[in-house]
């Protein structure tokens, strides 16, 4: 009886470890794919390429099954949905706009130069 309980406990722990592995690596793959697509051009042809690469990295999951990835681009953000079995994850990142970053950096430098008396 004790041996049965021990084996059942070990089996449940292994299942939970596989599920945890699948969810963590699945979310990391989605985040990596979003970052690659965000810094890319963001065209629909490129999104299909990034989706295929993400699905290739994520399939098959150890316990949850096939990994499915879907990316969409809005005006201000890129969204990603990942699924594997019953697990679903949604992430959203703002689009990369280097021109805005450079303008803000230049403005901060100008403000700093005026305060220092230079």
Per the structure, the count of domains in the chain is 1
Q: What is the pLDDT of residue 82?
A: 92
In whole angstroms, what is the distance from residue 66 CA to residue 43 CA? 26
| 75 Cβ contact list (under 8 Å, min separation 6) | none
- What global pTM score does this model have? 0.72
Averages of pLDDT over runs of 10 residues in the chain (118 residues) are 96 93 91 85 70 84 84 87 91 82 88 64
Question: Residue 33: which of 13, 9, 8, 58 has the closest Cα?
Answer: 58
Structure tokens at 42: 């963001």
Question: Residue 78: which of 24, 29, 28, 33 has the closest Cα?
Answer: 33
- 31 part of a folded domain: yes
- 77 part of a folded domain: yes
* Containing structural domain, residue 57: 2-110
- 51 part of a folded domain: yes
- 115 part of a folded domain: no
């Amino acid at each position: 009886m004790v041996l049965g309980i021990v084996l059942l406990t070990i089996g449940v722990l292994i299942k939970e470890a596989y599920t945890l592995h699948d969810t963590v690596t699945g979310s990391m793959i989605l985040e990596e794919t979003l970052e690659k697509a965000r810094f890319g051009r963001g065209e629909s042809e490129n999104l299909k390429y990034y989706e295929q690469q993400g699905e290739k990295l994520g399939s098959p999951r150890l316990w949850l099954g096939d990994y499915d990835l879907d990316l969409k681009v809005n005006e201000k953000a890129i969204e990603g949905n990942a699924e594997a079995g019953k697990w679903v994850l949604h992430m959203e990142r703002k689009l990369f706009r280097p021109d805005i970053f450079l303008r803000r950096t230049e403005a901060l430098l100008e403000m700093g130069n005026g305060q220092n008396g230079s």
